[in-house]
């Protein structure tokens, strides 16, 4: 298996670190306003399928999987033109523009959530794959490694890889001096600003988690955005207060959050309602039975076989191709 992507995005670091080969080609998203950047993006988009065709000619894959976003579209198109079966994955409850454009060239589209109008043989709802390394952590060992108390509830604040500035500042302002035990993964951007504002030992603030599996195992209640992390919370049965990013395209994080809230595993809160979160946290931590029920609901909503289902379907497509 090899990977392809942009030389200036996160995959250029993560893929080689994981031990896989990476082919890169210039590609960028389309700015919303006219200007030089838009012209440059359009020029890259025109050239990208040709660069992808050269990669495919060299690698000679049996099947291509697009991970969503503007990087995947040119590769799926190039695969179609070369007669190589291709599939797409959509991680959110809204089919993004790049996937909408690429879907006609794919034989299968794997959805994390059911999306109205996207059904039939081409579309299959499988959930979102979760790294196995993030599952099955030991609570006691995880807390010891993270410097958290062995007993008592822990609130986890998770904002994603880059961190979520509104959540970061809210958490430190609310619990930096007193409150429940907190494990706060802030992201590297805000960490330096936040660090001096935490004044107690049972508020563990880190820029990144060396093992997100430990963070999940140690946490009794999560406060999180509603991106990909929600599927890891579900797989580990972690109750959550979900605060969707308010500027996500088509408000797709709110759609993601609704799936888990409707299933009883989470409570959703708009960003402008963050002042209501401390009372809700106190209420939930004081009701272990409710937390336990939410955790069970999260597990029921999880789709732990997502990666296996996608892999099996890709092998079948490769065989037919």
Q: DSSP string spanning 16-63? A: HHTT--EEE----PPPSS-SHHHHHHHHHHHHHHHHHHHHHHHH--S-
Taking only the tens place, the pLDDT of each residue in 270-285 is 999 999 999 999 999 9
H-assigned helices in 238-302: 252-262, 277-285, 288-301
pLDDT for res 43: 86
pLDDT for res 311: 96
pLDDT band, very low/low/confident/very high, at 85 (cuts 50, 70, 90) = very high
CA-based nearest residue to 152, from 176, 184, 183, 181: 181
Question: Rounded to two decimals, what is the model's pTM?
Answer: 0.89
SS3 category, 88 = strand
pLDDT band, very low/low/confident/very high, at 180 (cuts 50, 70, 90) = very high
pLDDT band, very low/low/confident/very high, at 210 (cuts 50, 70, 90) = confident
pLDDT for res 41: 78
Identical fold for domains 3-128+305-320 and 133-301, yes or no, is yes
Give me the residue spans of the domains in the chain. 3-128+305-320, 133-301
State which of 56-65, 89-98, 183-192, 208-217 shows the largest mean pLDDT: 56-65
Looking at 43-47, 124-128, 159-163, 214-218, which range is the least confident one?
159-163
What percent of the chain clears pLDDT 90, i.e. is strictly above it? Answer: 74
pLDDT for res 163: 57
Mean pLDDT of 288-299: 97
**CATH fold group of domain 3-128+305-320:** Rossmann fold (3.40.50)
| Rounded-to-integer distance, Cα 169 and Cα 321, Å | 51
Decide if pLDDT at 320 tops 80. Answer: no
Decide if pLDDT at 70 tops 90. Answer: no
Mean pLDDT of 213-217: 95
Token readout for 101 is: 């454009």
pLDDT for res 160: 66
Output the CA torsion sign for 113, 114, 117, 118.
positive
pLDDT band, very low/low/confident/very high, at 35 (cuts 50, 70, 90) = confident
pLDDT band, very low/low/confident/very high, at 127 (cuts 50, 70, 90) = very high
Pick the CATH number of 133-301 from 3.30.470.20, 3.40.50.2000, 3.40.50.720, 3.90.1150.10: 3.40.50.2000
Taking only the tens place, the pLDDT of each residue in 221-254 is 999 999 989 999 999 999 999 999 998 888 899 9
Q: Give residues with Cβ within 8 angstroms of 284, minimum separation 6.
A: 221, 239, 241, 267, 290, 291, 294
| Rounded-to-integer distance, Cα 35 and Cα 89, Å | 31
Higher pLDDT, 160 or 221: 221
Over the chain, what is the mean pLDDT? Answer: 92
What percent of the chain clears pLDDT 70, i.e. is strictly above it? Answer: 98
């Amino acid at each position: 298996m090899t990977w392809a992507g942009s030389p200036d995005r996160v995959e250029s670091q993560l893929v080689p670190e994981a031990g896989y080969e990476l082919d890169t080609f210039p590609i960028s998203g389309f700015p919303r306003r006219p200007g030089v950047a838009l012209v440059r993006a359009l020029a890259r988009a025109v050239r990208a399928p040709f660069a992808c065709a050269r990669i495919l000619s060299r690698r000679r894959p049996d099947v291509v999987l697009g991970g969503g976003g503007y990087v995947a579209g040119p590769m799926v198109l190039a695969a179609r033109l070369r007669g190589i079966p291709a599939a797409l994955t959509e991680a959110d409850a809204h089919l993004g523009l790049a996937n909408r454009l690429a879907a006609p060239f794919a034989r299968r589209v794997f959805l994390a959530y059911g999306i109205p109008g996207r059904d039939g043989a081409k579309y299959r709802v499988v959930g979102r794959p979760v790294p196995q390394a993030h599952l099955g952590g030991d609570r006691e060992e995880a807390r010891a490694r993270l410097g958290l108390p062995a007993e008592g509830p822990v609130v986890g604040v998770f904002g994603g890889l880059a961190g979520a500035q509104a959540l970061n500042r809210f958490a430190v302002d609310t619990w930096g001096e007193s409150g429940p035990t907190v494990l706060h993964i802030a992201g590297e951007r805000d960490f330096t600003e936040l660090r001096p504002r935490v004044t107690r030992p049972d508020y563990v603030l880190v820029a990144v988690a060396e093992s997100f599996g430990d963070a999940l195992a140690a946490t009794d209640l999560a406060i999180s955005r509603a991106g990909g992390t929600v599927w890891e919370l579900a797989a580990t049965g972690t109750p959550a207060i979900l605060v969707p990013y308010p500027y996500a395209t088509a408000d797709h994080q709110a759609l993601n959050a609704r799936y888990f809230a409707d299933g009883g595993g989470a409570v959703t809160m708009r960003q402008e309602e963050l002042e209501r979160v401390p009372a809700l946290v106190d209420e939930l931590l004081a009701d272990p039975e409710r937390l336990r029920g939410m955790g069970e609901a999260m597990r029921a909503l999880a789709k732990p076989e997502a990666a296996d289902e996608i892999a099996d379907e890709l092998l079948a497509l490769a065989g037919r191709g």
